[in-house]
Amino acid sequence: MSMALVGDVGGTNARFALWQSGELAAVEVFACADFASPEAAISAYLERQHVTISQLCLACAGPVQDGQVRLTNNHWHVAADSLRDTLKLQRAELINDFTAMALGMTRVTEDELLSVAEGQALAGQMRLVMGPGTGLGVAGLLPLPDGRWQVISGEGGHVNLPATSEREARVLAYLQSQQDYVNAETILSGGGLLRLYQACCAIDQRDCLLDSPAQVTAAALAGDDYADAVLEMWCCWLGRVMGNAAVTLGSRGGVYIAGGVVPRFAERFLVSGFHQAFCGKGSMSDYLTQMPIALVQAEWPGLLGAGVWLDQLS
């Protein structure tokens, strides 16, 4: 395959890299606010690298419809036709950022994965990828007989948040009093950790002394018992929701925890009740204990996935 550009475009930053022979090179991060359009940002990147490209794939934080994406919290309008014509390319592909994240799992190396639970991955079976980040991404990843991969995409982060204890029910009731619908990513996201802390403080009639997710995490890791209990509840809720998805998809090929949230407290996560909550499905518990679970610590999985998308088209 000739030289290609891959990108991971979010609301604030755009990450670009060169892709050739299944490898990333020259990763750079650009502030979207500094450029009037994605074409301008890509042109600046290519000028810095002194290269020309024949094709590109951008993973974008938003739904792709008719070859276009309008990004949330970003003035860019990304359109495949415009990219192809302006940059004089043979091919311009736009995919959802979590589709790219899922495909990136096919290129991460063992040293970029932290084992959360041992198990036996079955060849040819569905894999589950979930990523607590700005929201909660959920996808299935299915190996195909010809060696390619099929992403089973959806909006799994918007399922109902399940409560299985009196404490969780009280928190859920409080959240429901504040908003019409409480989905999983209400809690299982970066901002969700703060919402969970605030909900716990409200039902316990405590003052909220912390005012950011980073502060809740830092307090928990520093030994604050109350913040640690909130973080533990967050981990267990993630396990329960991931277990639901794993049962639904039949993810005997393995489970990946992606996204930027969990790596911030990886050691604490490993000793949390996450895995017990993941497997706590009654008669299906043994089925779930057989699934290996890994925490993804790769730096650029979205860029890798965009490259895999291009490779599969060639």
Residue 10 is assigned to a ligand binding site? yes
pLDDT of the residue at 134: 84
Total count of residues recorded for the chain: 314
Give the Cα separation of 199 and 132 in Å (integer).
19
Q: In which band, very low, low, confident or very high, does the pLDDT at 172 lie, cut at 50, 70 and 90? A: very high
pLDDT of the residue at 12: 85
User: Quick one: tokens of 299?
Assistant: 């730096």
CATH number given to 109-297: 3.40.367.20
- What is the average pLDDT score of the chain? 95
Q: Is 22 left (phi over 0), alpha (psi -120 to 50) or beta?
A: left
In angstroms, the first-to-last Cα distance of the chain is 7
Q: Where are the domains of the chain?
A: 4-96+300-313, 109-297
Give the Cα separation of 295 and 305 in Å (integer).
17
Using a 10 angstrom Cβ sphere, with 0-12 exposed, 13-18 middle and 19 or more buried, the burial of residue 143 is middle
Going by C-alpha positions, the residue among 52, 123, 121 that lies closest to residue 90 is 52
Give the percent of the chain with pLDDT over 90: 90
CATH number for 4-96+300-313: choose from 3.30.930.10, 3.30.420.40, 3.20.20.80, 2.20.28.120: 3.30.420.40
pLDDT single digits (tens) 20-66: 999 999 999 999 999 999 999 999 999 999 999 999 999 998 888 89
pLDDT of the residue at 154: 85
Residue 157 is assigned to a ligand binding site? no
Residue 146 is assigned to a ligand binding site? no
Give the Cα separation of 243 and 293 in Å (integer).
11
Give the Cα separation of 277 and 286 in Å (integer).
13
The mean pLDDT value for 147-160 works out to 92
Going by C-alpha positions, the residue among 311, 304, 232 that lies closest to residue 265 is 232
Residue 186 is assigned to a ligand binding site? no
pLDDT single digits (tens) 100-117: 999 999 999 999 999 999
pLDDT of the residue at 46: 96
User: Per-residue pLDDT for 223 more than 80?
Assistant: yes
Q: In which band, very low, low, confident or very high, does the pLDDT at 74 lie, cut at 50, 70 and 90? A: confident
Residue 8 is assigned to a ligand binding site? yes
Q: Which residue bears the tokens 């996808």?
A: 139
Residue 7 is assigned to a ligand binding site? yes
Residue type at 204 in one-letter notation: D
Largest Cα–Cα distance in the chain? 61
Give, in order, the Cα–Cα distances in Å from 187 to each of 168, 183, 226.
12, 8, 17
pLDDT of the residue at 244: 97
User: Per-residue pLDDT for 2 more than 80?
Assistant: no
**Dihedrals phi, psi of 6, to nearest 5 degrees:** -120, 145
Count Cα neighbours of 7 within 13 Å in the Cβ-side half-sphere: 29
The mean pLDDT value for 261-267 works out to 96
pLDDT single digits (tens) 271-295: 999 999 999 999 999 999 999 999 9
pLDDT of the residue at 314: 82
